[in-house]
Amino acid sequence: MKTLFRSVTVLFIFFFAFNLKGQSKSPKLENSLLWEVSGKGLKKSSYLYGTIHMICSQDYFLSEKAKKAFDNSEKLFLEINFTDPNEMSQMQKLAMGKEPLSKRLTPEQLAKLDSILKNTAGMTVQQVDNFSLLTVLSLISIKSFGCIDLKFYEMEFSDLAKKRNIGISGLETVKSQFEILENAYSNDEILKLLEESNATETIELVDAYKTENIEAMYALSTDVKVTSEKTKKQILDDRNVNWVKIMPDLINQNSVFFAIGAGHLGGEYGVINLLRKEGYTVKPVMN
C-alpha cells in the first residue's frame, strides 16, 4: 500500500504525459534530456530536464551533464513537490475514490474492468472497489514496467536537493493535477486506456528515454485512438502554458533546475518552444 501511494501521482504524470494526441509544428529537437535556458537579461542560466518519472532500477541513469547542471542550480522545481507532507497527505486522500467503483460505474463498465484486472494483474474489481479509476490505471501501468525495484526521478532529485540544502518547490499542486486528469477523461476513455496499456509501449518509451530521444518520445505519445484535442489541451498544452507564465519570475531570481516530464518538452506548445517564443535562448546540453 505504501508503494502504491508513493507512485500514484508519479504514474499519473507519467502515463498521461505519454498518451496524448498532438503533432509538433516546432523545429525538430536534438537528442538531449537536458536544456539550458539563458538570454533575455538572465544573469545565470537555468535548466529544463525531462524525466520519465519512474523507471526500473536497472534502467535508471543520471548523466554527468545533468549532475553538473543540478550542482550549478540554486533551486529545484518539480511538477509537484513530493517533499511537502501536506501534498502527500492530499495525494493519499485523492487516490481513494469519492464513491466505490461499484456505484460509480455501470454494470457493463464494471464487468469490463473486472476482465481487464484479471487478465493484466490477476486481481478482481472487488479488490480495487474503494480506489479511484485513475488509481487503478496507475496500478496497471506499474505492471507494464515488469519490475518491482522502481526508481522515481523526482524523489532522486529531491534527495539530492536536500543534501545540498537547496529549496524544493512544485509548479502545481496534487489537487490541481488530479482535477485536470479527472476532467480530461470519461470513465469509458480510462477503461480504453486500461485495455491498451501494455509492456511493449513501456519498453519502447524507456528505450527512447535512455537514448535521450525527445522526438521519439513525443511520437510515442501520439495516440489518436484514445485522446481528443480537448483532452490534449487540458492535460498537456494548458499546463505548459501555465508553467511558462510563472517561469520568468523564478529564473530571474535564481538559477533553477526544472525536472518535468519529458513529454512536456516537445511540440508546438512544449515548454522549450514556448520559452523560445518568450525570447529566451533554449539549447540542448550535449555533454
Nearest to 223 by CA among 22, 15, 2, 11: 22
DSSP H helical ranges for 105-198:
107-121, 133-143, 153-164, 174-184, 187-196
Q: Per-residue DSSP letters for 185-205?
A: --HHHHHHHHHH--HHHHHHH
The cell numbers describing 247, all together, are 517561469
Please give the Cα distance from 184 to 258 (Å, whole number).
Answer: 25
pLDDT in tens, 112-168: 999 999 988 888 999 999 998 888 887 787 777 888 888 999 999 999 999 999 999
Kindly give, in sequence order, each residue whose CB lies less than 8 Å from that of residue 48, ignoring residues fewer than 6 positions away. Answer: 34, 35, 37, 258, 260, 265, 271, 272, 275, 282
Residue of 247 and 193 predicted with greater confidence? 247
pLDDT in tens, 4-31: 444 444 444 444 444 444 444 567 899 9
- Domain residue ranges in the chain: 2-85+153-173+198-284
Q: What is the pTM of this model?
A: 0.87
Judge contact between 267 and 277, C-beta under 8 A.
no
Judge contact between 209 and 52, C-beta under 8 A.
yes
Please give the Cα distance from 113 to 110 (Å, whole number).
Answer: 5
